[in-house]
Amino acid sequence: MKVKRTLKIIVGCLLITNLCWAGITQEGDTLPPGVVIHNAPAISHEYIGSPSIVIMPDGTYIASHDYFGKKLSDTYIYRSGDRGNSWTPIAKLESLTWATLFNRGKELYLIGISPKVTMGYGDFVVRRSLDFGRSWTEPKDEKSGLIRCGFYHCAPVPVVRHKGKYWRAMENMGQEWGWGPFSALMTSISCEADLLDAGQWNFSNEIRYDSSWKEGATAWLEGNAVVTREGEVKDILRVAYGPDDVAAMTSVSEDGKIMTFNPEKDFIKLPGAGKKFTIRYDKKSKKYWTLSNFILEKRPAQYGWWCYT
């Protein structure tokens, strides 16, 4: 992928993630760079979240997002046929949040959560589109995308293809509400399988976060499936920790069934890891890239307040 094209995708994701400044109406203010896909005024208290973007085989760009703030919302889909220069809303998917877009050829998928209640955790679901995002399957049962019922949590984290399988990290809260003791797990499925068939999916064991592992750290969540240079699958998780520089890295067996974590050595340094981040490997540069953000301790007074994702 060319550098300019990559930068446009990154900018698009950043703009769709958060365009909810408040009070930026002073003389001299400028619009952010790139093309705005969608903007939610901060006064609405509904903030844009869960950004995801993919390029289809014919060059079509597809982007998605939900909302957070007063409530978790449905997922909204946008299409661009001119390499991101203009965007058209094409679909709304009810009862889907924290979802990741990815494609298998011309097949377009969203992996996310169908919440039990507003702002709650929910079922792990997969939805498919065969017309470039205009219409989508409904996860009604275990053969149509309802992969596992429960109180799961996730984020628009990577879907990684490795050794004939798709890998995608997830967490289990185990109850409708709450914060803290998320259990990390890894899901995987053959690249040739029916991705809507629950019986084709593999789940690792779950590792429940223990607050005694690191003083001041209260939870781990929003894990990223990452393949190391040695071909091992890791789940690199955000750690809710004040200094904002620690992530957790679990190891996953080759068959995807066993996850392990050693608190003595598997906490790693990663700036911005106290909040949502994403990790991607770029084959061209042969480097791992992380998008994270740093929240200033003191906000700029001239802007009133900020909303970050």
Q: Is 249 left (phi over 0), alpha (psi -120 to 50) or beta?
A: beta
Tell me the pTM: 0.86
Contact 268, 241 (CB under 8 A): no
Of 157, 135, 144, which Cα lies nearest the Cα of 235?
157
- Say how far apart CA 181 and CA 43 lie, in whole Å: 33
Contact 273, 243 (CB under 8 A): no
Half-sphere exposure of 122 (CA within 13 A, CB side): 21
Tell me if 309 is assigned to some domain.
no
Determine the pLDDT at residue 307.
32
Tell me if 275 is assigned to some domain.
yes
End-to-end CA distance of the chain: 27
151's tokens: 């109180």
Q: What does the angle CA 49 – CA 5 – CA 79 come to, to the nearest 5 degrees?
A: 50
Model pLDDT for residues 153-197, shown as the tens digit of each residue: 999 999 999 999 999 999 999 988 888 899 999 999 999 999 999
**CB atoms near residue 2 (< 10 Å):** 8
Determine the pLDDT at residue 68.
87
Q: Which domain holds residue 78?
A: 3-303
Look at the chain and report how many structural domains it folds into: 1
Tell me if 43 is assigned to some domain.
yes
Determine the pLDDT at residue 201.
98
pLDDT under 70: residue ranges of the chain: 1-30, 119, 294-309
CA distances from residue 292 to 14, 41, 258, 273 in whole angstroms, order as listed: 10, 23, 28, 7
Tell me if 96 is assigned to some domain.
yes
How do 287-291 and 259-260 pair as beta strands? unpaired
Tell me if 236 is assigned to some domain.
yes
Of 125, 10, 115, which Cα lies nearest the Cα of 68?
115
* Residue owning tokens 């084959």: 283
Contact 184, 161 (CB under 8 A): no
Determine the pLDDT at residue 69.
82
Q: Which CATH number is 228's domain given?
A: 2.120.10
Contact 262, 250 (CB under 8 A): no
Tell me if 10 is assigned to some domain.
yes
Tell me if 308 is assigned to some domain.
no
- Say how far apart CA 309 and CA 305 lie, in whole Å: 14
- Say how far apart CA 207 and CA 260 lie, in whole Å: 8
Tell me if 185 is assigned to some domain.
yes
Is 7 in a helix, a strand, or coil?
Answer: helix
φ/ψ (deg, to 5) at 68:
-140, 170
Determine the pLDDT at residue 303.
34
